[in-house]
Structure 1
Amino acid sequence: MRKPRDFDAELKALEDKARELKIRKVQQLGELVIATGADALSTEELAGALVAIAETKDTGKREAWAKRGVTFFEGRSRRTAPAPQRNLRGTPAQPGSTLSPASGTGSQ
């Protein structure tokens, strides 16, 4: 005979997981504020800037912000990569990489 499902336990597990995800999201947002230097702003300034960004419908501005964000994260990942992942010898990390061995930046 099949074991009956414990809906209460499943619901509690889902609620716990949702709570953990919310906590992680809040923590990551806080880390992002600190990493960008926005923690130097007052709470009111930061909230106002975020409200303005959220209300912006101009796709050109949003795309420019997205590109700037990508650049921020790419630069940050290179600076904070653990030693084994860093390119210490100045040679391309992977075959076919477009990085210049001399500069290590891909631009010549």
Structure 2
Amino acid sequence: MRKPRDYDAELKALNDRARQLKDRKIQQLGELVVATGADALSIQELAGLLLASVERDDPVKTENWRKRGAAFFQRGTAKVANHTRDDTGGAATNDSGTPPSGSQAGAN
């Protein structure tokens, strides 16, 4: 005779695994924010930057971001983070290339 399956135990294991994956993703996102130096931004600036990137419908710019992100992981965080700060004067910029209002250029 076959042993009956314990669906409740399988479902609980799947839910536990899903929770672990979600927790790991959240932790990795936080580590990424710190590694890129984005933790120097205010929460509002970071949220605005992320929202602008999600709303943008420019495949060329998106591909450039993807390449830059790939380079970040291949070369290491220190080189790319320093290069990013050099490009923007150490502050986040909006679409016009100027620092967002309320930010201090060169502040770390």
Q: TM-score, normalised by structure 1?
A: 0.69
Query: Aligned ranges for residues 28-107 of structure 1 at < 5 Å?
Result: 28-76=28-76
d(CA) in 2 for partners of 1:25 and 1:12? 20
Q: What corresponds to 2:83 in structure 1?
A: none
CA RMSD in angstroms, aligned pairs only: 1.3
What 5-or-longer segments of structure 1 have no aligned partner?
A: 80-108
Q: TM-score, normalised by structure 2?
A: 0.69
Bigger relative CO (Cα 8 Å, ≥ 6 apart): 2
d(CA) in 1 for partners of 2:68 and 2:36? 12
Structure index of larger Rg: 1
Identity among equivalent positions (%) equals 65
Per-residue CA shift, 1:53-93, capped at 9, x if unaligned? 1111100100111111111111107x8xxxxxxxxxxxxxx
Q: What corresponds to 1:19 in structure 2?
A: 19
d(CA) in 1 for partners of 2:34 and 2:3? 49
